[in-house]
Amino acid sequence: MKMSSMSGWAKRRYIDLDNDIEKRLTDLIPENMALRGRITIDALLAPVKDILNRQRFPDKPLTERQVELMFTLLSSMDTDKDPAAARVGEREGRTISPLLDRLSAGFNHGIGRSGHLTAPQPKAAGASLMQQVTNHVALDAIRRLGLENVRAGIVAPLSTGMSIALILGALRRTLGIKEVLYPRIDHTSPRRAISFAGLQEIPVSTILEGDAVRVDLADLEKRLSKGNGAAVLATTTFFPPRESDPVKDIAKLCAESDTPLVINNAYGVQSETIMHSIRSAIDAGRVDAVVQSSDKNFLTPVGGSIIVSPDKDIIDSIAETYAGRATAAPIVQTLAALLLTGHEEYARLRAEQTESLTYLRAQLGSVADSIGQRLLDVRNHVACAMTLDGLNAREIG
């Protein structure tokens, strides 16, 4: 919590509490021991204070103890922790067992208000603050990991497919889109998202060039020229032989035709190359929103995603499209993952991922050669594949 945002009384109380600890220490034990104890306390609290003040993706990770302390302090601000509260209303954050309280990290009220995912919840000051910190830390992480040109973001309590549905629903509500031009990928989740948003899927053809399956840009351009109130859903990460959609070229076409573009970047944060391609797309054309999975990119339990945009108004409209309040669990899990990783460790994991993919390609290539097959020549930054010519894939398993 920034000191500048506090009332005068709260500032004095904050400072008095800080000084009170030091005074009690020096009253009870020798000054040199008190000083040593205060140094230890400060070492524990300093990273927590820094996150609350700056709300940035830390260079170095916090410890589990520090993250748990932060969550305990914040969740203690919610009204269900008030020992004097009667707690007889319909929304009092009651749980049948302390286990459930622990499973939610104490944020039993959830997040948001009816009709707005990021609106502060009057009975949940701590959860509201936790959510704002999470959104800022996640946005800073996405910026530092490659998308410096996005301006706003939220962590949604939805997996990637449902987050795409939420984004498309927002575009339908604000821009009146009726169709989604979708370069074909044989994956059910995005197609279900289009249907769930009440929109018509218009498949865009793909073409086979060598081993690679790529979007037919000529077909996309032809469909965009019809101007039927459409949006485009592009994909950066999928399995070979499918290659990433050329999001820069698509963004240019969308800018020329005034068509919204949503990018499904489910796995993409772990690839510097993919993040660079999205950054270039934002600079070169129109990109309305980019969604990335929290579990695939930041090793959280399944259930959350990070949505970012170069336009703050779009993020606001997405938040306003969500129905009702939401569970805080995926939000607090994403914040914990970001704080327990830190930028330096994530950069190390990224480099390790690149090395591992290179190693996997080499080993898979050796296996392919040994049985008269070959590695597919496909530009894919998250996976690789080999031929199975003359073999029964079902028998192989």
What confidence tens digit (pLDDT) does each residue in 100-131 have? 888 888 888 888 888 789 888 888 889 999 99
**Same domain as 388, residue 295:** no
Judgement on whether residues 10 and 156 belong to the same structural domain of the protein: no
pLDDT (tens digit, 9 = 90+) per residue, 142-181?
Answer: 999 999 999 999 999 999 999 999 999 999 999 999 999 9
Domain boundary among 54, 79, 96: 54
Q: How far is CA 249 from the centre of its chain?
A: 25
Q: Write down the pLDDT at residue 9.
A: 41
Rounded alpha-carbon distances, angstroms, from residue 44 to 38, 58, 62, 343: 10, 15, 9, 20
262 and 315 co-located in one domain: yes
Are 44 and 157 part of one and the same domain? no
Quick one: 318 and 262 in the same domain? yes
pTM of the model: 0.89
Shared domain for 336 and 348, answered yes or no, is no
Please name the residues in contact with 109: beta carbons below 8 A apart, sequence gap of 6 or more. Answer: 78, 79, 80, 91, 93, 121, 123, 124, 127, 325, 328
Query: Any idea which residues carry the catalytic annotation?
Result: 91, 113-114, 121, 187, 266, 296, 325
Predicted local distance difference test score (pLDDT) of residue 6? 45
Q: What is the pLDDT of residue 12?
A: 45
CA–CA gap between residue 16 and residue 118 (Å, rounded): 32
CB distance 150 to 309 below 8 Å: yes
User: How many independent structural domains does the chain possess?
Assistant: 3
Peptide bond into 241 cis (omega under 30): yes
Contact 388, 368 (CB under 8 A): no
Please tell me the predicted confidence (pLDDT) of residue 18: 63
Residue ranges of the chain with pLDDT lower than 50?
1-7, 9-15
Does one domain contain both 134 and 25?
no
279 and 356 inside one domain? no
For residue 324, what are the domain limits?
125-342
Residue 325's pLDDT is 85
DSSP string, 322-334: S-S-B-SHHHHHH
User: Are both 142 and 12 inside the same structural domain?
Assistant: no
Q: Do 279 and 360 belong to one domain? A: no
> Does any domain span residue 365?
yes
- Are 150 and 362 in contact by the 8 Å Cβ rule? The answer is no
How many whole angstroms separate alpha carbon 142 and alpha carbon 162? 20
